[in-house]
């Protein structure tokens, strides 16, 4: 059985389609990470003299744009395939980079953040839907580890690498980001179209079935069709209702940290850009090195105990991090944060993948990712407010408490008969 799983995992990683998705994931997240972590927060705080709350709202617009389109785009992927959906997204992302490169007004930056969110909205539905379709349930933990490795290396390398190109001006950094987006557009253009996507998912008869289904419902109002559609999807889900607030909470914890992480490093810990890059590498390296083995263990032993351990370790580490000022101790703590998320990431997404039916996979992934993204939006908005009102430690403490509550919620989820936890 383990040999078969190993062979399946190698087959997935050698798929040209999966390789294309991973390249797009890496490059887009590189650009997004460079903008959201290294460029925009510092620029808006230092050059525009905005409060942490205002910065959180500006960055939240990116997440709002992202989540507003995730569910409908998941549905569109099921109908027209991957190519045009992803090309649409990367063109909007490129437009965002162009605006930030050639303008400096606050209004334009807000527009660019919104466009960045809209542009990246197809990314996760396309990548997760495509990768899990190729992998199947037997390799879901492994493929999710690989997907998140591409995401983490991209979103981690973006801020780290771009810092070395920001000295007296942002121009060299922006040129690098624009070149990367051109490469992404070219790769996205060669993704499967409608017919290839249907064949890939063994849904060659889907257009016929969809046509007959529409005929029977064509006299219904649009809202009634939408309600009936989601009712059908809901009946086919193998998920506890507790999974929905859990998805929100899982990303809420991350959203609390994104807008303030760079500010905490630069203004509280007084790290130089190079030191900050070193700390990001430390945490990111622990996560990346742990993803593949944990993903394989998840496929073999199930998700339960990895999530239990991951939630507890991350909750304690993040709570302590907000109060720590000793730099060597900070390094140790962020390594533990990395261990926690190395356990959480592959196990959590394998758990969600088990709940998703084969039919309407793209739409359901889009719906789930929207719920998760809403957590990021509210976390980003609350983060700056907590910082301004209670101090730099507050976002880290609330994030840790959120993960602790998620641990408790997961105890109930694992006991629920509707979720298949191996």
pLDDT digits (tens, 9 = 90+) for 332-383: 998 999 899 889 888 887 787 777 666 566 667 667 777 887 888 788 888 8
Q: What is the pLDDT of residue 215?
A: 47
**Comparing C-alpha atoms, which of 30, 81, 77 is closest to residue 183?**
30
Q: Is pLDDT above 50 for 312?
A: yes
Mean pLDDT rounded to a whole number for the chain = 78
Most confidently modeled range among 44-48, 147-151, 264-268: 264-268
> For the chain, which domains are there?
9-200 (1.20.1250.20), 215-421 (1.20.1250.20)
| 266 Cα distance to chain centroid | 25
Q: What is the pLDDT of residue 310?
A: 92
User: Is 307 in contact with 348 (CB distance < 8 Å)?
Assistant: yes
User: Is 295 in contact with 346 (CB distance < 8 Å)?
Assistant: yes
Q: Is pLDDT above 90 for 403?
A: yes
**Whole-structure pTM over 0.95, yes or no?**
no
Cβ burial of 218 (10 Å; 0-12, 13-18, 19+) is exposed
Q: What is the pLDDT of residue 83?
A: 87
Confidence of residue 317 (pLDDT cuts 50, 70, 90): very high
Q: Where are the beta strands (DSSP E) in 72-178?
A: none
Angle between helices 123-135 and 2-13 (to 10 degrees): 140
* pLDDT digit string, tens, across residues 197-224: 665 555 554 443 444 444 454 455 656 6
Kindly state the tokens that stand for 196.
């290839």
Residues 6+ apart with CB under 8 A from 83: 188, 189, 190, 191, 192, 193
Q: What is the pLDDT of residue 417?
A: 46
C-alpha–C-alpha distance, residues 377 and 64, integer Å? 6
**Weakest mean pLDDT among 51-60, 72-81, 108-117, 211-220:** 211-220
Residues 6+ apart with CB under 8 A from 369: 67, 70, 71, 74, 124, 125, 128
Q: Is pLDDT above 90 for 28?
A: yes
In 356-393, where does DSSP find H-type helix?
361-390
Q: What is the pLDDT of residue 406?
A: 92
Q: What is the pLDDT of residue 137?
A: 56
Q: What is the pLDDT of residue 208?
A: 39
Kindly state the tokens that stand for 361.
């996979």
User: Is 137 in contact with 82 (CB distance < 8 Å)?
Assistant: no
Residue range 264-281: mean pLDDT, rounded: 80
Q: Is pLDDT above 90 for 182?
A: yes
Q: What does the angle CA 344 – CA 347 – CA 352 come to, to the nearest 5 degrees?
A: 115
Confidence of residue 419 (pLDDT cuts 50, 70, 90): very low
Q: Is pLDDT above 90 for 109?
A: no
Most confidently modeled range among 36-45, 138-147, 287-296: 287-296
More confident position, 46 or 408:
408
Q: Is pLDDT above 70 for 418?
A: no
* pLDDT digit string, tens, across residues 163-179: 778 777 778 888 999 99
- CA distances from residue 380 to 99, 140, 166, 285 in whole angstroms, order as listed: 23, 29, 25, 24
Most confidently modeled range among 10-14, 129-133, 140-144: 129-133
DSSP 3-state helix, strand, coil percentages of the chain (rounded to 5)? 85, 0, 15
Q: What is the pLDDT of residue 110?
A: 83
* pLDDT digit string, tens, across residues 56-75: 777 778 877 877 777 777 67
Q: What is the pLDDT of residue 213?
A: 46
**Comparing C-alpha atoms, which of 31, 35, 13 is closest to residue 22?**
13
Confidence of residue 4 (pLDDT cuts 50, 70, 90): very low
């Amino acid at each position: 059985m383990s040999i078969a799983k190993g062979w399946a995992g190698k087959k997935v990683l050698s798929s040209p389609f999966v390789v294309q998705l991973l390249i797009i994931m890496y490059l887009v997240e590189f650009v997004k990470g460079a903008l959201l972590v290294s460029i925009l927060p510092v620029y808006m705080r230092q050059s525009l003299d905005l409060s942490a709350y205002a910065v959180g709202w500006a960055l939240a617009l990116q997440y709002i744009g992202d989540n507003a389109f995730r569910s409908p785009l998941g549905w569109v992927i099921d109908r027209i395939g991957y190519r045009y959906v992803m090309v649409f997204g990367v063109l909007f992302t490129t437009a965002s980079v162009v605006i930030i490169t050639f303008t400096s007004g606050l209004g334009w930056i807000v527009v660019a953040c919104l466009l960045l969110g809209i542009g990246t909205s197809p990314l996760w539905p396309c990548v997760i839907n495509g990768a899990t379709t190729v992998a199947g349930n037997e390799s879901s933990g492994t493929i999710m580890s690989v997907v998140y490795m591409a995401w983490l290396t991209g979103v981690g390398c973006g801020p780290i690498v771009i810092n070395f190109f920001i000295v007296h001006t942002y121009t060299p950094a922006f040129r690098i980001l624009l070149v990367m987006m051109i490469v992404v557009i070219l790769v996205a253009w060669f993704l499967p179209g409608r017919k290839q996507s249907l064949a890939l998912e063994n849904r060659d008869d889907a257009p016929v079935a969809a046509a007959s289904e529409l005929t029977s419902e064509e006299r219904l109002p649009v809202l009634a069709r939408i309600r009936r559609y989601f009712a059908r999807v809901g009946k086919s889900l193998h998920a506890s209702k507790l999974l929905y607030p859990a998805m929100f909470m899982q990303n809420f914890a991350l959203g609390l940290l994104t807008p303030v992480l760079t500010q905490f490093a630069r203004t509280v810990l007084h790290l130089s850009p190079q030191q900050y890059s070193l700390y990001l590498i430390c945490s990111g390296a622990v996560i990346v090195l742990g993803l593949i083995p944990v993903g394989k263990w998840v496929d073999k032993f199930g998700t339960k105990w990895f999530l239990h351990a991951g939630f507890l370790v991350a909750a304690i580490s993040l709570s302590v991090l907000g109060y720590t000022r000793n730099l060597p101790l900070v390094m140790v703590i962020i390594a533990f944060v990395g261990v926690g998320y190395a356990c959480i990431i592959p196990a959590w997404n394998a758990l969600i993948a088990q709940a998703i039916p084969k039919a309407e996979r793209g739409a359901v992934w889009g719906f789930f990712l929207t719920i998760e993204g809403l957590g990021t939006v509210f976390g980003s908005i609350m983060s700056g407010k907590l910082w301004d009102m209670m101090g730099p430690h507050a976002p880290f403490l609330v994030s840790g408490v959120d993960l602790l509550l998620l641990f408790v919620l997961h105890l109930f989820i694992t006991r629920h008969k509707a979720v298949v936890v191996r």
